């Protein structure tokens, strides 16, 4: 599907965070949010944030001047699982397993969720647990290395 414009193609954070949120909400049955969501957060939940996007090297030539647009990228997707130690602490490990399983499953990253991009790799690069004492929250951030490309059919004519 062709994007309406090139700017839309390059809105990686919004696109990939929304796809991850959809996967976790629907496939994993975990209430999920992405950066800049303005909803009130109630535990348990997962928070998705894409960072560190870097071009890898391939380019797509388009337009009359044959400008070379970067098309493949490496990034980090951080998913922070939060549970309340008094109310739902027992579900914390279960949620971590669900996040891993459903994000690793490349068939979950569908064209309905990502019409302009294709995920080529999801690889866990680390985890970081913490306890937020004033809120009594257990939090674990799972970091995933993501390699993705812009689909050939995404370029506007």
pLDDT above 60 (res 75): yes
State pLDDT tens for residues 102-137. 999 999 999 999 999 999 999 999 999 999 998 899
Distance CA 44, CA 139 (A): 10
Distance CA 117, CA 33 (A): 20
Domains of the chain listed by start with CATH number: 6-154 (3.30.2000.30)
Distance CA 45, CA 62 (A): 41
Distance CA 126, CA 53 (A): 17
Distance CA 36, CA 99 (A): 20
pLDDT above 90 (res 16): yes
Lowest-confidence pick of 23-27, 39-43, 77-81, 95-99: 39-43
């Amino acid at each position: 599907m062709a994007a309406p414009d090139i700017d839309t193609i390059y809105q990686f954070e919004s696109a990939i965070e929304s796809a991850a949120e959809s996967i976790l909400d629907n496939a994993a049955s975990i209430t999920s949010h992405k950066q800049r969501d303005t909803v009130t957060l109630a535990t348990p939940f997962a928070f998705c944030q894409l960072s560190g996007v870097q071009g890898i090297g391939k380019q797509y030539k388009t337009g009359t001047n044959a400008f070379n647009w970067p098309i493949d990228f490496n990034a980090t997707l951080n998913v922070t699982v939060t549970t309340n130690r008094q109310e739902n602490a027992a579900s914390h490990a279960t949620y971590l397993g669900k996040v891993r399983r459903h994000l690793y499953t490349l068939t979950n990253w569908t064209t309905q969720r990502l019409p302009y991009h294709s995920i080529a790799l999801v690889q866990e690069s680390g985890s970081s647990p913490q306890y937020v004492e004033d809120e009594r929250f257990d939090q674990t951030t799972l970091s995933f290395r993501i390699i993705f490309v812009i689909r050939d059919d995404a370029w506007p004519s």
